[in-house]
Structure 1
């Protein structure tokens, strides 16, 4: 199975598999430095042309924070493509959207079977949920804001709770084989930026680990890849918005 992964921006990613497109936590719908030589996805954007070779799109929203959710995603229904929306119930979209038959609102620790997908939600250490999406031949995990939030300003007691809460959710995933993992590597945590990613790789050993939640601080993905150089997991180094990563299984 072949997959094209696009790191759109921050925690926004798109994965194209055959005629299906999976989009997670899309929010930044403008980019001043677009290149006419690149596709919309390669510019980190979703546009009508994005769906020209897509028969079905699945759009995921992990939670309501502004850097993970933008109602513009519902405008994509104007394009010639079938779309399913799967989001945390916490998002609580406007009433005009909640009535849609193709909208699925999920609490944590829920399961949804949709087409040939099995979608499981797990908790977050912030708002909303994290997603595990199992296709017949591929599995995708998107953490949303599930992270080991070891902020320096937190007391030792709170830091310990953050660690426990993160590890509790990771433990739930141990029975699963994960191919593509999208997990925060947040530079705002300073020297603790790597904790969530390192633990995730150590425990779950995904085939590919794609850092997220770092805005335009692209160097952090390089630092993390260097730190994890001895791991069997391939860590993607992200250098720019819309970067494409090819995966073959």
Structure 2
């Protein structure tokens, strides 16, 4: 696996730095800055000499913020890769809108989109010798008040998508939702994904400020021989 650095911004937003790129996933909002922050989007990433690509998996407010389009004022060469449910005004040549099941070859990266169990897409990206999966809102959304029919439909939909992703048994890094609102079922989707796909490293997201949950998830996926990463704070370097 080639060298890379991963920064956790907030919620489902990460910045991945490789040899030639900065990839930013599902920007929602900037958390309050602290003196010991490891990363600054504005200073270190958006004004870098590396190629910057912004990904948004769907239009939910906690995964997409139209402020990302203002970042062109800091870096005019930014490329945007967006789910097709996101509306773009004044679309330019460096904007791409993708449905599930599409592929894209762009500036040295290879991209495939997969379905979600909510709306939008999930992303599988190969960049600088690294294969990374960002799930968006793909998860086993098992709510306690689901009917039997709803639970079955969700289970089959989720497992079907993961079955397609599992054809890639060489994923280096997977970013996956672990949502505490699901209570005792919050690890269900993540553990299933770890067991079926076996990414080398798996990082939780979509947990807001419930950092404690990341350590438990790390411990739970050891049995699948998947390395987990616990997260202590926002704007932090993870890898």
Map of 1:70-219 to 2, 5 A cutoff?
Answer: 70-80=65-75, 82-93=77-88, 95-96=89-90, 99-176=91-168, 177-219=170-212
Kept in 2: contact 1:56–1:81 (CA 8 A): no
CA offsets 1:59-113 (integer angstroms, 9 cap, x no match): 00000000000011111111145211001011123x22xx211000000001111
The aligned residue for residue 222 of structure 2 is 229
Distance of 1:113 and 1:120 partners within structure 2? 9
The change in CA–CA distance for 1:60 and 1:140 in structure 2 (over 3 A counts) is same
Distance of 2:193 and 2:14 partners within structure 1? 19
Distance of 2:139 and 2:23 partners within structure 1? 22
Is residue 2:27 matched to residue 1:26?
yes
Normalising by structure 1, we get a TM-score of 0.91
Distance of 1:191 and 1:76 partners within structure 2? 39
Superposition misfits of 4+ residues, deviation over 4 angstroms: none
Normalising by structure 2, we get a TM-score of 0.94
- Cα offset, 1:27, TM superposition: 1.1
Q: Which shifted more, 165-174 or 49-58? A: 49-58
- Cα offset, 1:39, TM superposition: 4.5
RMSD over equivalenced CA pairs, Å: 1.4
Kept in 1: contact 2:123–2:133 (CA 8 A): yes
The change in CA–CA distance for 1:162 and 1:67 in structure 2 (over 3 A counts) is same
Aligned length: 237
- Cα offset, 1:52, TM superposition: 4.0
Distance of 2:114 and 2:37 partners within structure 1? 35
Per the alignment, in what secondary structure is the counterpart of residue 91 of structure 1? coil
